Amino acid sequence: MFFKISPDEIEEVSLLRRAETAHFVKAAEVICQFHQRDDYQSGRHLTKENKDLLHVNHYRIESKLNSSFSGNLNFSACAEVEFNALQPEQSWIYFYLFSDMEVDSVMWSTGEQASFFKEKENPYLWVHCQPALARDETRKLKLYYRGDLIENDGGWMVIKSSLGWYPLHGNRTYATFDLTFHTPKRMTFVSVGDNISSAVQDEVLSTRWVTPEPIRNASFNIGYFKKHEITDERTVPVTVLMAESGHQQIGQSLARQGILSGKSMEKQVGQDVANSLVFFSHLFGKPKIKHFYATETPISHGLAFPGLIHLAWSTFQATDDEGYDQIFRAHEVAHQWWGIGVDFETYHDQWLSEGFASFAGLWYMQIALRDNKKYFDRLKDWRDEIFSNRKFLFGSGQQAGPISLGYRTSTSTTAGDYGLIIYKKGAWVLHMLRNMLLDYLTMKEEVFTNILQEFYQTYRGQKASTLDFQKIVEKQAGKDMSWFFQQWVHATGIPEYRFAHKLEQTPQGKWVAHCKIEQRNVPDDFQMPVLVRIDFGQERFARTRVVVRGPLTRVDLPLMPMKPEKIVFNDLESVLCEVKNEKWVE
């Protein structure tokens, strides 16, 4: 183990260990990481620290994609990059570019050649600044580069790096883009921003895309697509692009295994895309886009950019019966609000993007399929995954970290925890809030929807932290909620409840339920309101909330006019927990 102190990092101090990898691979990984002491003492707003060396304001990129004999697309580009220096006296600056790109030349806006250095298969492009860049100085570079970016895999166009096609610097910064692409006419091409012109000449389609305001990442998609257009006055026009020919091949091989492919998949996908856009616009507020493209990619996951999403090929093959496809499609759509609309401040806050998008996807599925059971079934699946992961604690593995650890929850010994904790436990946190704020008498959930609306409206176009979200929750709920965020976002405890009850008739003929709840596996001050349903049979029931706090809670439920048949502890999955019903022991 060793300490590393690096003034260039936002969290300067880290403790590292050797990652558990194959013997011939030597890699270090972070155990824990902090700011330097001065940062804490000065009380600076730690999350707003910026250690980038420069900030790119604007890109003007002209790209050409030509078919080669192999069927791949040759990519070449001229990128004009306008940037500000954030640090003094810089004689070398660097950009990140997809490692297979070759740089032909780099020029200053004065027309002067710049010296540069880029190793083959190394993503860093170094540019020499002479004279050295002064702090706050603005300069413009023109870079010519090309590379093997897009591969034709049996008719599927595989973009090998969805971000590395233009020179990037810094940690998730914002810039405006003016993009022109020259692409083969017989292929369909889409990008981000407003499509302000399209023209065809000599078998070449030239399109120009301009972002009306700064965005984090620009991307595009290209392929032999079948197009499906949807107009719905409740939302922006939607274009679905499906790589049809690829599916016919896959469909045939799946059919040989007895797996059926869906019909008119572009319409099935399009329906979820358009309906989730309508649903989320209604719930959270209008997104800042004029058009929405949902495009297919041969990769196995999704990616979201402003007004453009890439969806995995599998969701275009068939729609499953369990609601996973609705969740997946709506998750990527939801990033227009969570992740893009409201960006997250640091990696500690990434659940505000992925946890929120996962929850929004789940919520959409519940509404679209009108299926509460599937909503709870998927939540239970996620809970089971979280629990089976924690069981490693008693084996050789290590328990999962908290949500606020972000990507660092995944290490060589806890691979997969990022998806589990940030996405799935993150979604559970929102579900628990939804449940706690539910008016169980009227089943209205205005407080919860007001929170999401206010959070979106307040932080749209900005970066938000968990604390920013907590403050809005507290304002709308009208009470302190720090304990909730401490328990569920910043800590790892997940309770086990052992519930026992005893019914007793009062002299007046009413019924009372004495309840005893043992709380395990969490710190003694752990507390949660748990929803309880009292069943009287024949679909008659009542609900109440019981606050469980500490190792043992004893509580009497409100007096009941008749004898209940059953008492359900943790109704509507109100808490991420394990419940064991036990016999009453005096």
Nearer to Zn ion, 342 or 531 (CB): 342
For residue 163, which amino acid is it?
L
Q: Are 428 and 577 in contact (CB under 8 A)?
A: no
Cis preceding-peptide flag for 131 (omega within 30 of 0): yes
Q: How far is Cα 175 from Cα 172, in angstroms, rounded to an integer?
A: 10
Q: Which of residues 341-360 bind Zn ion (CB under 5 A)?
A: 354, 357
Q: Which of residues 230-269 bind Zn ion (CB under 5 A)?
A: none
DSSP per-residue codes, 241-255:
EE-HHHHHHHHHHHH
Nearer to Zn ion, 272 or 354 (CB): 354
Q: How far is Cα 351 from Cα 433, in angstroms, rounded to an integer?
A: 14
Bridge partners of 212? none
421 lies in the binding site for Zn ion (CB under 5 A): no
Q: Residue with the closest Cβ to Zn ion? A: 357
DSSP per-residue codes, 201-223:
ETTEEEEEEE-SS-BS---EEEE
Measured CA angle at 322 (ends 249, 571), to 5 deg: 165
DSSP state of 260: P
Long-range contacts of 464-471 (CB under 8 A, 24+ apart): 464/342, 464/343, 464/344, 464/345, 464/349, 464/352, 465/47, 465/344, 465/345, 465/346, 465/348, 465/349, 465/352, 466/348, 466/349, 466/351, 466/352, 466/404, 466/490, 468/345, 469/352
Question: At closest approach, how far in Å is the CB of 336 from Zn ion?
Answer: 11
Nearer to Zn ion, 114 or 357 (CB): 357
Phi, psi of 229 (to 5 degrees): -105, 140
Nearer to Zn ion, 305 or 375 (CB): 305
List the structure tokens of 48: 């707003």
Nearer to Zn ion, 75 or 280 (CB): 280
Question: At closest approach, how far in Å is the CB of 294 from Zn ion?
Answer: 14
Nearer to Zn ion, 357 or 452 (CB): 357
Q: How far is Cα 405 from Cα 402, in angstroms, rounded to an integer?
A: 6
DSSP per-residue codes, 296-361:
EESSSS-EEETTEEEEEGGGGT---SSSHHHHHHHHHHHTTTBTTTEEESSGGGTHHHHHHHHHHH
DSSP state of 421: I
Per-residue binding string, Zn ion, 295-334, x by CB under 5 A, is ----------------------------------------
Question: At closest approach, how far in Å is the CB of 490 from Zn ion?
Answer: 22
Nearer to Zn ion, 11 or 354 (CB): 354
Nearer to Zn ion, 315 or 574 (CB): 315
Question: At closest approach, how far in Å is the CB of 416 from Zn ion?
Answer: 16
Question: At closest approach, how far in Å is the CB of 302 from Zn ion?
Answer: 6
Q: Around Cβ 180, how many Cβ atoms within 10 Å? A: 18
Q: Around Cβ 512, how many Cβ atoms within 10 Å? A: 15
Nearer to Zn ion, 342 or 357 (CB): 357
Question: At closest approach, how far in Å is the CB of 332 from Zn ion?
Answer: 6
Nearer to Zn ion, 354 or 571 (CB): 354
Nearer to Zn ion, 129 or 357 (CB): 357
Q: Around Cβ 567, how many Cβ atoms within 10 Å? A: 17
Question: At closest approach, how far in Å is the CB of 331 from Zn ion?
Answer: 6
Question: At closest approach, how far in Å is the CB of 335 from Zn ion?
Answer: 6
Question: At closest approach, how far in Å is the CB of 492 from Zn ion?
Answer: 22
Count of chain residues binding Zn ion (CB under 5 A):
2
List the structure tokens of 582: 């036990």
Question: At closest approach, how far in Å is the CB of 340 from Zn ion?
Answer: 10
Question: At closest approach, how far in Å is the CB of 314 from Zn ion?
Answer: 16
DSSP state of 102: E
Q: Which residues bind Zn ion (CB under 5 A)?
A: 354, 357
